[in-house]
């Protein structure tokens, strides 16, 4: 025999103390500091950006009625807080005021982050005070041990993968180990100048790239990512820690599909005048990222697979902003280029 009881609990709504602003910033070694301050919008209420499926072939962003591959500046234009007092304090010794930049919709200064800098961002606006802090990691090291061009592409039928060329670059790399706990993101970008036809606008010349690559190495395995996304295979993540990287380093092989020379369709393009002549090549960039940026990226990877699944367990996007929302992280990087040749 069992018994049960019922108790009425009060549900309190209203101000949660988090305010309605968000900070978005990444301190990058060698690049002037820029901080974005925006009005916060609930993820299920925003009319600015949403993920959509383009048939079974492609997942893109829907933004202001247009499908594009990468985020543009719609969000920043519509939600920027332009009258804030923004500053960064570096190593507890120097404070740099930041001013609003109409071209970037963010706050910038002449301060350039360096390895080891401890940075605190402070924002005051509309009676709210927000702050967040991070430490810039030391520069990582990645070596290109070997590479070869293969006239075959076993990934042509991967769901969401876009540029189904017949050629790939197979690259063997080595990440040099470091003492202590570290977090990384590996960017591998196939890029080149292209030409083709723009829907409704005729012939064009431009620059194209894609960041999707493939590897079976264990450092890229994330068992939580049970579905692919935008060309990335299931269980694959380019964000990882050093738990599988010994102090002696870690060697692995990856495949980067070659960008085609000729493109047809409505694609994001940047003029050659900005980039100059660019041969077909692969950029390999190992980023050392701060712990808070690592946790943010990991949560975002998981969220994008579950946000529209009514039966999935809710995923909270990681943030480290006190008094508001958002993320402030840091990174340093080691970058190399490998050319295909024509």
The DSSP line for 206-225 is EEEEE---B---GGGB-TT-
Q: Which of 193-202, 219-228, 293-302 has the lowest mean pLDDT?
A: 193-202
**What is the distance between the alpha carbons of residues 256 and 69, in angstroms, rounded to a whole number?**
18
Q: Is 75 helix (H, G, I), strand (E, B) or coil?
A: helix
pLDDT at 315: 78
% of the chain at pLDDT higher than 90? 54
pLDDT recorded at residue 112: 97
| Residue from 285, 295, 338, 339 nearest 318 by CA | 295
Task: Please give the DSSP secondary-structure letter assigned to residue 236.
Answer: B
Does residue 167 contact residue 261 with C-beta atoms inside 8 Å?
Answer: no
| The pLDDT of residue 12 | 39
Confidence grade of residue 332 (pLDDT, cut at 50, 70, 90): very high
How far is the C-alpha of 276 from the C-alpha of 329, rounded, in Å? 31
SS (H, E, C) 82-115: CCCEEEEEECCCEEEEEEEECCCCEEECCCCCCC
Please name which of 271, 263, 244 lies closest in space to residue 184, comparing C-alpha atoms: 244
The single residue listed with the structure tokens 């940026």 is 293
Residue 196 pLDDT level (bands cut at 50, 70, 90): low
Mean pLDDT over all residues of the chain?
81
- Helix or strand or coil: residue 204? strand
Average pLDDT of span 246-251 = 90
More confident residue, 83 or 269: 83
pLDDT above 70 coverage of the chain, percent: 74
- As a whole number, mean pLDDT of residues 108-118 equals 96
Note the pLDDT of residue 114.
97
Cα first-last separation, the chain: 80
Distance between CA atoms of residues 287 and 336, nearest Å: 12
Contact yes or no for 331/288 (Cβ under 8 A): yes
CB contact at 8 A, 38 and 75: yes
Checking if the pLDDT of 99 tops 80, the result is yes
The string of pLDDT tens digits covering residues 268-297 is 444 444 445 678 899 999 999 999 999 999
Q: Which pair of structure tokens corresponds to residue 203?
A: 């012939």
Check whether 71 has a pLDDT greater than 90. Answer: no
Encoded tokens for 160: 């969401």
Determine the pLDDT at residue 45: 56
CB 63 within 8 A of CB 57: no
The pLDDT assigned to 3 comes to 53
Reported pTM:
0.82
Sign for the CA dihedral angle at 333, 160, 265, 54 comes to: negative
Lowest mean pLDDT across 66-70, 145-149, 293-297, 323-327:
66-70
Whole-number pLDDT of residue 260: 78
Give counts: helices (H), strands (E), the chain.
3, 19
- Provide the pLDDT confidence category of residue 104 given band limits of 50, 70 and 90: confident
Q: How confident is the model at residue 62 (pLDDT cuts 50, 70, 90)?
A: very low
Q: What is the pLDDT of residue 171?
A: 98
- Work out the pLDDT band at 248, boundaries 50, 70, 90: confident
What is the mean pLDDT of the segment spanning 85-90?
Answer: 98
pLDDT of residue 136: 98
CB-CB contact of 43 with 29 (8 Å): no
Is residue 230's pLDDT more than 80? yes
pLDDT at residue number 279: 82
Work out the average pLDDT over 65-80.
Answer: 58
194 class by beta-carbon count within 10 Å (0-12 exposed, 13-18 middle, 19+ buried)? buried
**Is pLDDT above 50 for 307?**
yes
Question: Is the pLDDT assigned to residue 130 strictly greater than 50?
Answer: yes
Segment 19-61, tens digit of pLDDT: 789 999 999 999 999 999 999 876 555 544 444 443 333 333 3
């Amino acid at each position: 025999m069992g018994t049960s009881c019922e108790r009425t609990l009060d549900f309190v709504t209203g101000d949660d103390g988090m305010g309605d602003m968000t900070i978005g910033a990444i301190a990058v070694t060698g690049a002037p500091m820029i901080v974005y301050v925006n009005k916060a919008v609930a993820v299920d209420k925003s009319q600015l950006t949403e993920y959509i499926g383009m048939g079974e072939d492609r997942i893109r962003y829907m933004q202001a009625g247009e499908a594009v591959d990468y985020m543009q500046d719609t969000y920043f234009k519509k939600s920027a807080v332009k009258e804030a007092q923004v500053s960064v304090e570096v190593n507890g010794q120097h404070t740099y005021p930041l001013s609003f930049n109409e071209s970037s919709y963010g706050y910038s200064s002449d301060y350039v982050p360096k390895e080891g800098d401890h940075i605190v961002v402070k924002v005051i606006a509309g009676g709210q005070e927000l702050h967040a802090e991070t430490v810039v990691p030391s520069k990582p090291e990645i070596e290109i041990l070997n590479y070869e061009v293969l006239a075959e592409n076993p990934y042509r039928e991967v769901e969401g993968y876009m540029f189904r060329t017949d050629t790939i670059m197979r690259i063997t790399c080595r990440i040099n180990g470091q003492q202590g706990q570290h977090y990384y993101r590996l960017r591998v970008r196939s890029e080149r100048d292209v030409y083709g036809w723009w829907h409704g606008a005729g012939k064009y010349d431009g620059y194209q790239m894609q960041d999707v690559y493939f590897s079976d190495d264990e450092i890229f395995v994330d068992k939580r990512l049970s579905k692919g996304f935008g060309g990335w295979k299931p269980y694959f993540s380019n964000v990882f820690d050093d738990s599988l990287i010994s102090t002696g380093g870690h060697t692995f092989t990856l495949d980067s599909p070659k960008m085609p020379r000729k493109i047809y369709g409505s694609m994001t393009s940047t003029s050659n005048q900005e980039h100059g002549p660019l041969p077909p090549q692969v950029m390999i960039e190992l980023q050392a990222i701060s712990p808070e940026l690592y946790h943010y990226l990991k949560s975002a990877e998981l969220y994008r697979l579950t946000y529209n699944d009514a039966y999935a367990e809710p995923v909270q996007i990681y943030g480290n902003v006190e008094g508001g929302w958002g993320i402030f992280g840091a990174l340093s990087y080691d970058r190399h280029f490998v050319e295909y040749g024509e």
